[in-house]
Each structure stands twice: as C-alpha cells, then as structure tokens.
Structure 1
Amino acid sequence: MTGVGVEVLGVIAVGIGVAALLFASFHAIRKFGLDLPRWWIPAGIGIAMVGYSVWNDYAWYDRAVGRLPSGSEVLLVGHEKMPWAPWTYIAPVAVRFAALDPATIRGAADGIRQAQIMLIERRGQALVVPQDFDCADRQIRRADSQWTPVDPDDVAFLRVCQGASG
C-alpha cells in the first residue's frame, strides 16, 4: 500500500474512533437528562479527521528524520504551500529533504571523495544517489554525469569536503 493509502486509512480510523467516542459520550450525557444537538457528532468527526490530517502533514518530517541511520545529517529541506491547505501559506509543510550519512563518505586515491546522498520525498520513493566530490577543484559529479563547478553554498559539498586537504 502506498503512503497515500496508509494516510487515508489513518484518517478513516480516526473518524471511526472519534465517532464511537462521541456516540458513547452523547449517550452518557443523555442519561443525565441533557440533550445536545445531533449535528455535533458529524461536526466532531469532521474536525477530528481534518485535525489528524493536518497533524500528519506536519509530523511527517520529524518521523522521516527519526528513521534515518544514526548520525545522518539533513542537508536541505523543501517546503511547499498548497492551495487546498491554506494554513500552509502561514507555515509551509516540509515535503522533501536531502540527507547524508557521514558513514558513507569515502576517499579515493585520486583525492576524490564519494558519498551517498539520500533524497526523501513525502508520498514518494526514497532515493540514494551516489555523488563524487573533487574537494581540491571544487567540483561535483552526480551519477552518470560530467564534473560541474560547485555552488559556493552547496551544503553537501561543504559537509563531504570539510577537513579534506585541497
């Protein structure tokens, strides 16, 4: 099952659980002679389902980072604003990030360093991309690519080449 399918099942489970809880609560309240409006049950279910969905969107990043190998470092985080979720214009949601496990950094005999960069995307496939770093000439080569000059603020280059001679 895909990530979206699991999320839909989670929202449905929250809705069913809250429905049961509200129904039992309303039944108990009626035993005391109070009569609450019937629309409170579907309203409560809807609010709980939307609340769970919003929480799940914002909690995804921390859960994903928690599953990374020990010692891994997040290099970049991509945030998005979504029109169907207007609150993301105030607090954008993390939807992707790049991470580096320092244990994957290897030095080659010719002064080139190699590392595995993890690209994690919400509702997407996680990828591990091998990259070569020429710390002396400030160049980077992605898998199946040519050497290209590195941006001065490339966090992967800075992290992989820190302490490298050159």
Structure 2
Amino acid sequence: MFYELVATLFAGFAMAGVVMLLNHATRGRLPKWAMPVGAGLAMIAATIANEYAWYDRTVDAMPEGLSVIMKHENRAIYRPWSYAVPFVDRFVAVDDLTERTHPEHPNLRIVETLFMGRWAAPEKLIVLVDCATMKRAQLMDEVSFGDGGSVDGVSWIASDQDDPLIAHVCATGAGS
C-alpha cells in the first residue's frame, strides 16, 4: 500500500513537471489550472492502473503449488470504467501441496485454502472435501479424527460439481 501511494504521488509530480515544460515551451499560454488538473488526472490514472494490476502481481508472486480456483470481479458506481472492464479485488487459492488423505478413506481430502483480498490480510482456512458425496466442511476445533481416519464433529456443506473448491480438489487430488 505504501508503494502504491508513493507511485501515485510520483505520477502527480511527474505530470506537473510535464505541464510545466509544456507551459514553458508554449511561452506561458497554458491556463493556470492545467498543472493541478494534469497532476490530478495522472494520480487517478495511476490509482486505476494499480487496482487493475493487483491481481496479476499477487498471482505472479504466489509460491509454486497454489492454484486460483475463484476470483471476484468488482464493479462500482463510483468507478464507471469498471462496468466496461471489471477488476479482480479478491480471490481464493488452494494450496495443492498441503493436500492430505488417509489410506482407508481416499475420497476424504484435507487442503488449505487462502482467501486473498485487495486491502485485506490473507486468511487461511483448512477444508475437508468428500469427493464421493461432493461435500465439504471447514475443519474447526470441534473436529476429531479416529484411528481409522474417520472424522467426527464435522458440519458438512452439500454441494455439486459446480463448486470450484470441490471440483479442483477432486480433479487434481491424490486419490484421482
């Protein structure tokens, strides 16, 4: 966030300098409001460019083994350009390297998911996926595991194959 602020301020100062040079080249013919308007427009353009570049920068910086399974595109009335080209402001990724199964229950898979937001700290959630019944559940403190790999105290969420988490885990899992 700090670097984006610095980049935005730098864009404003740079455009103010360009307008000053143009004013000098035209021997003072530009109106006095040209410099602040030019600087303001450059700062707005830099802010918009940072918002559109956030998703690609974040995904490129992710370590090996993380797969983006869902992304949210933002449109807002105070950003009219986002109706033409929406930008991604949050997404969900699965850490494929953390997938675990039990030999006696190959259809049950545990994976870590990351919830990433534009202005939010990443949140990690451990999820249990049952590929046989197309259900998933968050693993919380109340969950217990038996010796044979059975799971107790789970609140299952029924879903179908359209659920991106279940589709990804069951398609790429160790039991497939």
Q: TM-score, normalised by structure 1?
A: 0.83
Q: Alpha-carbon deviations, 1:103-143, whole Å to 9, x = none?
A: 12122233321111111011011111111111223221112
Q: Which residue, 36, 49, 57 being the options, matches 1:55?
A: 49
Higher mean alpha-carbon deviation, 101-110 vs 75-84, is at 101-110
Residue 136 (1) aligns with residue 145 (2) = no
C-alpha displacement of 1:162: 1.8
Alpha-carbon RMSD: 2.2
- Look up the equivalent residue of 2:8 and give its one-letter code: V
Structure 1's unaligned 5+ residue stretches are: none
Residue 11 (1) aligns with residue 8 (2) = yes
Q: Contact conserved, 1:69 with 1:101, CA < 8 A, in 2? A: no
- Look up the equivalent residue of 1:90 and give its one-letter code: A
Partner of 2:168 in structure 1?
159
Q: Alpha-carbon deviations, 1:21-44, whole Å to 9, x = none?
A: 4324433x15xx563333221221
Q: Which residue, 25, 34, 40 being the options, matches 1:40?
A: 34
Distance 1:54 1:141, change over 3 A: same
Query: Counting strand residues as a fraction of each chain, which structure ranks higher?
Result: 2
Q: Alpha-carbon deviations, 1:85-107, whole Å to 9, x = none?
A: 11112222211101123212122
Cα distance in 1, alignment partners of residues 19 and 160 from structure 2: 56
Q: Contact conserved, 1:108 with 1:114, CA < 8 A, in 2? A: no
Query: Counting helix residues as a fraction of each chain, which structure ranks higher?
Result: 1
Structure 2's unaligned 5+ residue stretches are: 141-153
Tell me the number of residue pairs that the alignment of Structure 1 and Structure 2 aligns: 160
Q: Contact conserved, 1:18 with 1:44, CA < 8 A, in 2? A: yes
Q: Report 1:1-166 matches (<5 A).
A: 3=1, 6-27=3-24, 29-30=25-26, 33=27, 35-109=29-103, 110-111=105-106, 112-144=108-140, 146-162=155-171, 165=175
Q: Contact conserved, 1:80 with 1:95, CA < 8 A, in 2? A: yes
Distance 1:128 1:94, change over 3 A: same
